Structure 1
């Protein structure tokens, strides 16, 4: 205890402790709300399972512990789910990678001239608005019912957010900086890689995060439509539904959701690593 504390009876807090306490408080406030909502969801789930549904209809919404016990703790079911998760992850990540390459390349091409954007962007919008169900028969005729078909569906679903966000970011570079680059005689590629790309990174990674979740949806949709080959999570969900194995079905849905969250969080982390510091400083 310091002399000031002994004489006044008032505790003196070190100035260095204040930011540390503030950071702990902010972390706590980030964790508590989602944990509270999760607890409410689980409590409501148990309430519906045991107090709303009759025992004969409890298979419609089995309690969470039963889903974990049957879906994940049973070795055979767990092995089937892990195999399906691996195939779905493979399709989702490969489809997302192809969508990123095509989407970024297409946005770069459209950003180079107004007439290119007017020529190509409407077709990207049309591709986005066509229901995948309408394209399924054509995809089946072109590529069959195997891995390639699932991959193509995944790319189609995940492509448009990358194109739209990357194009928006490329066109959002500061006009004064554009004029400065032109004034110093910078070429097209110099402006692209030293001005437009850095300026577009925040919007680009926002598109990646959106498409990350859509790629998982695309992999599941491809599974549901093209039911040949090794089963992914989509095929397992449909099989469990047809057999009324609801515990396994909910477990597969949970795994698919966790996969989408994991890919989304990865691109959020990667975006903060790539653009976080200077982007936040610029906004501040």
Structure 2
């Protein structure tokens, strides 16, 4: 009797067991999709709003200043794009696009920056490992890392030029000097932040210094090492552009282009080169952030 009542109730409601199961299965999917969309909006919403406000203020200010040609104060975003990458300016004048020389400059700047960054990563990690092995080594070597960070790089430019010439090697050296300290400091912090209980466990097992380094310290330091890489990556772009400003020989990079556009009063092209340099720094920062997530994201969860 109870079985018949139950069956009648299901039939009366018009819901079969298969339909109910399918509806229940779609609920988690819908919720996960909503959660993903909410996290994306939470991540990208604030910076996009700030970007929109900046662009709107830029357009409004450029419209006010545009009343006084030849538009050398603050060009509008549209003028920057058209005058830099079109064969005809916004005023209808013939124009030479800067696309070709800009791409060549980006390629050279990336070559210099990545070369300097690779050297900084290797030297910084080795330097930090040496300092992590003994306090007297840290007291002996760490002050020189601080000196490299504190000495103005412009004061070293004449010395670098007179020592190793003014070619691409000098630009790479500037990148190394600018981007080395974050690698040293972050790696050293990660190596020294191992918990005391874990150190004592390895000591009880009579592990060698090499085993402690490779099995405990370096895995523990990976998040800090990748954080240092992201900082050093952005600084390497800065170093490549700074080197271009002062070692003006050979193929021009972004720094030389920026200097040339400034001296020629090519304001739209100057803004375009500066924006490209900024986007290049952001791009390499995001790339190293993605690599960091791939390397340590599966087992390392930062505190929220």
Which among 216, 232, 247 is matched to residue 226 of structure 1?
Answer: 247
Q: What does the per-residue CA deviation read over 1:100-152, in whole Å, with 9 as the maximum and x for residues that have no partner?
A: 01000100000010000000001110111000111011001111111011111
Select between 12-21 and 185-194 the one with higher mean Cα deviation: 12-21
Which has more radius of gyration?
2
- Whole-angstrom distance in 2 between the partners of 1:250 and 1:111: 45
Residues 63-112 of structure 1 deviation map (CA, whole Å, 9 limit, x = unaligned): 11111112234464110111111111100011000000100010000001
Unaligned 5+ runs, structure 2: 1-9, 16-22, 88-95
CA contact (8 A) 1:136 1:225 kept: yes
Instruction: Identify which of structures 1 and 2 has the higher relative contact order when contacts are C-alpha pairs closer than 8 Å and 6+ apart.
Output: 1
Is the CA contact (8 Å cut-off) linking 1:71 and 1:78 kept in structure 2?
Answer: yes
Following superposition of structure 1 onto structure 2, how do residues 180-191 of structure 1 map, counting pairs within 5 Å? 180-191=201-212
State yes or no: 1:237 paired with 2:258.
yes
Q: What does residue 32 of structure 2 align with? A: 19
Structure-1 residue corresponding to 2:174: 153
In 1: Cα distance, 2:251 partner to 2:245 partner: 12
Q: Is the 8 A contact 2:175 2:239 kept in 1?
A: yes
C-alpha RMSD of the superposition = 2.1
| Alpha-carbon offset, residue 15 of structure 1 | 3.9
**Would the alpha carbon gap of residues 66 and 189 (structure 1) be closer, same or farther in structure 2, given more than 3 Å must change?**
same
* 2:84 corresponds to 1:63: no
Provide Cα deviations, 1:1-55, integer angstroms capped at 9, x if missing partner. x989879xxx988244222211212112222222221111111111111124542
Q: Which deviates the most, 73-82 or 132-141? A: 73-82
Aligned pairs for 1:127-206 (under 5 A) are 127-206=148-227
Q: Distance in 2 between matches of 1:257 and 1:162?
A: 21
* TM-score normalised by L of structure 1: 0.92
Give, in whole Å, the separation in 2 of the partners of 1:5 and 1:89: 67
1:81–1:252 CA contact under 8 A, matched in 2: yes
Looking at structure 1, the residues matched to 282 and 12 of structure 2 have their Cα atoms a distance apart, in angstroms, of: 52
Give the 3-state SS of the residue equivalent to 1:182 in structure 2: helix
TM-score with structure 2 setting the length: 0.86
Q: Give 2:109's match in structure 1, choosing from 63, 88, 110.
A: 88
Instruction: Summarize deviations over 1:158-212 as a string: whole Å, max 9, x none.
Output: 0000000000000001111111111111111111111000100111111111111
Aligned to 1:38: 51
Q: Residues of 2 paired with 1:239 and 1:5: CA distance?
A: 78
